[in-house]
């Protein structure tokens, strides 16, 4: 329980004051409700014997004080008073439930932002190790489970528990023996839940895990739909999904049907109690007037208590089944947030470029002379050998260099280190003699990256090029320049809505070469001084390749370029070519010296 509360409050972070406001409202509501129900007993007694009005303490005094013409009028007034109390109580109840829903669902959105922000700020190595399906599951499903299964249930259970407590006090006051019997009923129900708590946790865990697995399988099958169709292995993914769907449905249906047990038990036991109570009272010749009044209160309390107790027991079982999600969320958030102090996500795009010193100007690093990779080494976690071994490389401003070498030589790793995604295990990167690690954001603000496989969003060409820039901040001149330099002008003319044409999911409406050029235009739009280009390996047709090469070549006059070259013909224009092997640069020189000489050998 202590652990549960600790984890719960950590996830809830700064929302505790909202909870205190709710606590006050819930207590007020419980008092009003108890007063309303408490007055029903005397009202029934007065209705059957008006003479009791004067004999009853407090109510008798109120009757005298208000100076009513007759007892009957006072009884009618009492009825009106009880009705008003019930209306006020119902309204307050609505306001509280609304407040709870508002609070929970707004918090769900905030939690999603907090998680996505935490995941995005984790180092690249974290993303290499973790499957995105599990992150999507956390952001999309665990937040729902936490908010619906834990937060909402806890708040609802709290409301129920408060009212149950107040009503129980009223019952004890009305008839101690009957209260003990009702207490016994609730005890039996909660004992069942507590006994099954481990099974509930297991069901909850299976539900959450199978959901994540289903996202993973769907991701895999739809992400590789081309290959899947050609190989004809659709059934492989369908079988995997079927296994997970079965696990999910079995656990969920077990859990949902279990949830019905408390309601069914409570209903049966309350009926047994009311009928048993009447019979025993008659058999023991108890005062009939008192019996009617007591039963009146019990009837109303039972009607009220039944849904509350059902809700409370459901809340408890849902809470139990959600402990896995709570632990997972707590673990994720704590681990992620401990890793680095989170910057609060901001709608202000400029804030993305906020430097470490907190000023509003984007981080800036002067780059006038050269970039120096000084004895860079890197070894992946768990790998036996380093992937980069004492790499020494100088790149002058305005130069274009190409990294070539066989698959596995270390080209991508070197570029990832350059991009600041991987932190070298040895050595340093310096710009004009200043280490980039003093302000990595400033270094990254100099870089534009054009990956091998461009990630295109399912949106317009314009938004794909000016990725991350809100519409009202998109600079037309910059956009047109980027389109022109990336050799996309022809394409824009052909598109039905020009730059406002939707490119489809992952740019399905474009060819490989066009996608690559959109990537180039994107890097150009953001006007970065250094462009890092992982050349597409896909076999582009000659004409497209010529266009891509032309786009790259036209940039090399104005930018410093680092190209991972897969097709050697495209690096002819580079000032220097570095041949990599086993994580080392084994030869550097001009195209003729490195590529042609190697071909001749």
| Residues at the interface with ligand ATP (CB under 6 A) | 128, 380, 383, 387, 405, 407-413
Three-state secondary-structure class, residue 419: coil
| Spatial distance between the Cα atoms of 568 and 562, rounded to a whole number of angstroms | 14
Residue among 100 and 594 whose Cβ is closer to ligand ATP: 594
> 271 vs 55, 170, 182, CA distance in Å?
33, 20, 11
CB of 265 to ligand ATP, least distance (A): 54
CB of 562 to ligand ATP, least distance (A): 13
Strand order in the sheet with 447-450: 447-450, 530-534, 560-564, 400-405, 576-581, 584-589
Residue among 364 and 581 whose Cβ is closer to ligand ATP: 581
Say if CB 200 and CB 255 are below 8 A apart.
yes
Residue 204 token pair = 């909850």
Residue among 284 and 407 whose Cβ is closer to ligand ATP: 407
Residue among 367, 321, 119, 360 at smallest CA distance from 206: 321
Break the chain down into helix, strand, coil percent, rounded to 5: 70, 10, 20
CB of 380 to ligand ATP, least distance (A): 3
Residue among 412 and 453 whose Cβ is closer to ligand ATP: 412
| Spatial distance between the Cα atoms of 495 and 464, rounded to a whole number of angstroms | 14
CB of 387 to ligand ATP, least distance (A): 3
Residue among 128 and 457 whose Cβ is closer to ligand ATP: 128
CB of 406 to ligand ATP, least distance (A): 7
CB of 522 to ligand ATP, least distance (A): 21
Residue among 13, 115, 107, 108 at smallest CA distance from 336: 115
Three-state secondary-structure class, residue 580: strand
CB of 515 to ligand ATP, least distance (A): 18
Residue among 30 and 536 whose Cβ is closer to ligand ATP: 536
Residue 31 token pair = 């008092």
CB of 584 to ligand ATP, least distance (A): 11
Residue among 186 and 532 whose Cβ is closer to ligand ATP: 532
- Give the H or E element holding residue 401: strand 400-405
Say if CB 314 and CB 63 are below 8 A apart.
no
Residue among 388 and 483 whose Cβ is closer to ligand ATP: 388
Residue 316 token pair = 């408890």
Say if CB 551 and CB 494 are below 8 A apart.
no
């Amino acid at each position: 329980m202590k652990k549960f509360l600790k984890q719960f409050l950590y996830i809830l972070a700064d929302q505790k004051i909202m909870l205190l406001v709710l606590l006050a409202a819930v207590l007020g509501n419980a008092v009003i409700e108890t007063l309303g129900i408490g007055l029903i007993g005397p009202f029934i007694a007065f209705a059957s014997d008006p003479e009791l009005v004067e004999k009853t303490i407090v109510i008798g005094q109120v009757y005298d004080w208000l100076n009513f013409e007759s007892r009957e009028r006072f009884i009618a007034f009492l009825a009106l008073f009880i009705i008003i109390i019930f209306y006020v109580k119902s309204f307050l109840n609505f306001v509280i439930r609304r407040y709870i829903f508002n609070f929970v669902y707004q918090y769900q959105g905030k939690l999603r932002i907090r998680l996505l922000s935490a995941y995005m700020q984790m180092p690249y190595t974290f993303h290499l190790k973790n499957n995105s399906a599990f992150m999507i599951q956390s952001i999309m499903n665990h937040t729902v489970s936490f908010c619906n299964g834990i937060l909402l249930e806890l708040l609802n259970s709290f409301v129920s528990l408060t009212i149950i407590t107040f009503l129980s006090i009223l019952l004890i006051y009305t008839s101690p023996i009957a209260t003990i019997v009702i207490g016994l009923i609730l005890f039996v129900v909660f004992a069942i839940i507590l006994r099954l708590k481990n099974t509930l946790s297991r069901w909850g865990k299976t539900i959450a895990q199978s959901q994540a697995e289903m996202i993973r399988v769907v991701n895999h099958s739809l992400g590789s739909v081309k290959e899947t169709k050609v190989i004809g292995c659709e059934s492989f993914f369908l079988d995997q999904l079927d296994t997970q769907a079965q696990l999910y449905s079995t656990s969920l249906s077990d859990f949902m049907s279990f949830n019905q047990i408390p309601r069914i038990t409570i209903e049966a036991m309350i009926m047994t109690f009311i009928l048993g109570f009447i019979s025993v009272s008659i058999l023991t010749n108890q005062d009939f007037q008192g019996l009617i009044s007591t039963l009146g209160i019990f009837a109303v309390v039972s009607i009220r208590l039944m849904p509350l107790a059902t809700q409370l027991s459901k809340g408890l079982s849902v809470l139990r089944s959600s402990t896995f999600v709570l632990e997972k969320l707590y673990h994720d958030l704590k681990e992620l947030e401990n890793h680095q102090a989170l910057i609060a996500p901001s709608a202000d795009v400029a804030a993305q470029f906020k430097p470490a010193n907190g000023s509003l100007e984007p981080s800036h690093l002067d780059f006038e002379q050269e970039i120096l990779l000084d004895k860079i080494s890197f070894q992946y976690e768990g790998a036996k050998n380093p992937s980069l071994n004492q790499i020494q490389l100088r790149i002058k401003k305005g130069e274009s260099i190409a990294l070539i070498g066989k698959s596995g030589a270390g080209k991508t790793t070197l570029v990832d280190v350059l991009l600041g995604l991987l932190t070298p295990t040895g050595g340093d990167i310096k710009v004009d003699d200043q280490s980039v690690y003093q302000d990595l954001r400033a270094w990254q603000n100099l870089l534009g990256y054009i990956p091998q496989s461009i990630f295109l969003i399912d949106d317009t060409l314009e938004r794909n090029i000016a990725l991350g820039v809100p519409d009202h901040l998109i600079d037309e001149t910059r956009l047109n320049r980027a389109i022109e330099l990336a050799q996309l002008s022809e394409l824009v003319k052909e598109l039905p809505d020009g730059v406002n044409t939707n490119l489809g999911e992952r740019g399905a409406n474009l060819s490989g070469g066009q996608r690559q050029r959109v990537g180039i235009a994107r890097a150009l739009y953001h006007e970065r001084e250094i462009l890092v280009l992982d050349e597409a390996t896909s076999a582009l047709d000659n004409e497209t390749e010529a266009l891509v090469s032309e786009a790259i070549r036209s940039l090399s006059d104005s930018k410093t370029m680092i190209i991972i070259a897969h097709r050697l013909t495209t690096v002819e224009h580079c000032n220097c070519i570095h041949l990599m092997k086993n994580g080392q640069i084994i030869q550097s020189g001009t195209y003729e010296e490195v590529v042609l000489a190697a071909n001749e050998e």
